[in-house]
């Protein structure tokens, strides 16, 4: 089943954006994501929608932005980056599939890039596991299950200033749009 780029349906939770001079590291964000994903009460509080992703905004460590996200079968993010923020995610239930590029892309001044061979990376992130990534990470994440929801926790620092969305056909990556916090909060 191909991933959907259906926009998430928000649930409500308090938002906090306290500033931190240095902010949490990738390892600290991963630790937070793993601990939060292991909180059965919090995970069970997420409303699940069979048609689209749902989320609850969380208070992340050190002024980071964090989300608890529900992924119906067959849904995904499409190719994107995190606008220069580093981050981490951990799976609480189910399995997420991540495809990523092992290259630092320019952030400005292009609309279409032809990718070199051997840049593609793929991994499965099962319940109880997670991964951290740097500020130049480009990836897509999806729930490939045809029957089960996946639930995960994501954290970013600094809080996402923007998300660049890409389309991909073979080796060609095309910048489609830039989203700002008002587009997803």
Annotate 65-77 with b (16+ C-beta within 10 A) or e (fewer).
Answer: bbbbbbbbbbbbb
Query: φ and ψ at 73, to 5 degrees?
Result: -50, 135
pLDDT given at position 185: 73
Whole-angstrom distance, CA of residue 116 vs CA of residue 68? 34
CA proximity to 65, closest of 41, 84, 51, 46: 84
Q: In this predicted model, what pLDDT tens digit does every residue of 35-92 receive, in sequence order?
A: 999 999 999 999 999 999 999 999 999 999 999 999 999 999 999 999 999 999 999 9
Provide the residue ranges of all domains of the chain, joining segments of one domain with +: 23-180
Pick the CATH number of 23-180 from 3.20.20.60, 2.60.120.10, 1.10.150.120, 3.10.450.50: 2.60.120.10
Structure-token pair, residue 178: 């830039």
Residues 159 and 86: beta-carbon distance below 8 Å: no
């Amino acid at each position: 089943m191909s991933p959907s780029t259906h926009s998430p349906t928000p649930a409500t939770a308090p938002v906090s954006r306290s500033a931190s001079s240095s902010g949490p590291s990738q390892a600290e964000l991963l630790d937070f994501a793993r601990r939060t994903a292991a909180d059965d009460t919090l995970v069970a509080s997420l409303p699940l929608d069979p048609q689209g992703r749902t989320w609850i905004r969380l208070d992340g460590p050190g002024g980071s932005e964090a989300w608890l996200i529900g992924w119906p079968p067959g849904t995904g993010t499409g190719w994107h980056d995190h606008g220069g923020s580093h981050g981490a995610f951990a799976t609480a239930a189910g399995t997420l599939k991540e495809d990523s590029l092992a290259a630092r892309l320019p952030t400005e001044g292009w609309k279409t890039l032809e990718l070199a061979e051997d840049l593609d990376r793929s991994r499965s992130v099962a319940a109880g596991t997670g991964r951290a990534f740097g500020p130049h990470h480009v990836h897509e994440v999806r729930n490939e299950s045809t029957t089960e929801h996946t639930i995960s926790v994501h954290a970013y620092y600094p809080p996402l200033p923007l998300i660049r969305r890409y389309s991909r056909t073979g080796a060609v990556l095309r910048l489609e749009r830039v989203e700002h916090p008002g587009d997803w909060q």
